[in-house]
Structure 1
Amino acid sequence: MMPPFRPPIGLLLTSTARTVSRTFDDALASAGGSAPVWQILISIKSRQLGNQRELAEAVGIQGATLTHHLNAMESGGLLTRRRDPANRRVHVVELTEEGERLFHRLREVAMAFDTRLRAGLSEEQTASFEEILTQLARNIRD
Structure 2
Amino acid sequence: MSISLPESIRARLPYLLARAHHRQVDVFDRYTAAFEISGREYAVMLLLEAHERLWQSQIAEALNLDRTTVTYLVDALEKRGWAARNRDPADRRAHVVGLTPTGQQALAEIQPAVADAKNEMLAPLSEAEQDQLRDLLTRLISEDA
Q: TM-score range by the shorter chain?
A: 0.7 to 0.9
Q: 2:134 aligns with which of 127, 130, 137?
A: 130
TM score, norm. by length of structure 2: 0.80
Q: Is the 8 A contact 1:52 1:93 kept in 2?
A: yes
Does the Cα contact within 8 Å between 2:87 and 2:96 map onto a contact in 1?
A: yes
Distance in structure 2 (CA, Å) of the matches to 1:104 and 1:30: 14
Q: Which SS does the other structure have where 1:50 is aligned?
A: coil
Given candidates 66, 76, 93, the residue that maps to 2:97 is 93
Match among 108, 119, 126 for residue 123 of structure 2: 119
1:106 is matched with: 110
| Percent of aligned positions that are identical | 26
Query: What are the superposed Cα offsets for residues 67-109 of structure 1, whole Å, 9 maximum, x if unpaired?
Result: 1221222122111111111112321112122211211122111
Indicate if the aligned counterparts of 1:31 and 1:109 stay in contact, CA closer than 8 A. no
1:82 alignment counterpart: 86
Task: State the one-letter code of the partner of 2:133.
Answer: F
Count of aligned positions: 138
Question: 3-state SS of the aligned residue for 2:31?
Answer: helix
What is the TM-score normalised by the length of structure 1?
0.81
Provide the C-alpha distance between the structure 2 equivalents of 1:80 and 1:136, rounded to a whole number of angstroms: 34
Q: Secondary structure of the residue that 1:111 maps to in structure 2?
A: helix
- The runs of 5 or more residues in structure 2 that have no matched partner are 1-5
Please give the alpha-carbon distance, in whole angstroms, between the structure 2 residues aligned to 1:94 and 1:17. 28
Relative to 1, partners in 2 of residues 1:50 and 1:137: Cα closer, same or farther, differing over 3 Å?
A: closer
Aligned to 2:3: none
- Supply the distance in 1 between the matched residues of 2:105 and 2:36 (Cα, whole angstroms): 11
What is the correspondence of 1:20-31 to structure 2 with a 5 Å cutoff?
20-31=24-35
C-alpha spacing 1:45/1:137, structure 2 compared with 1 (3 Å): closer
Mapped partners of 1:109, 1:58: distance in 2: 24
CA RMSD of aligned residues (A): 2.4
The equivalent position to 2:21 in structure 1, one of 17, 20, 23, is 17
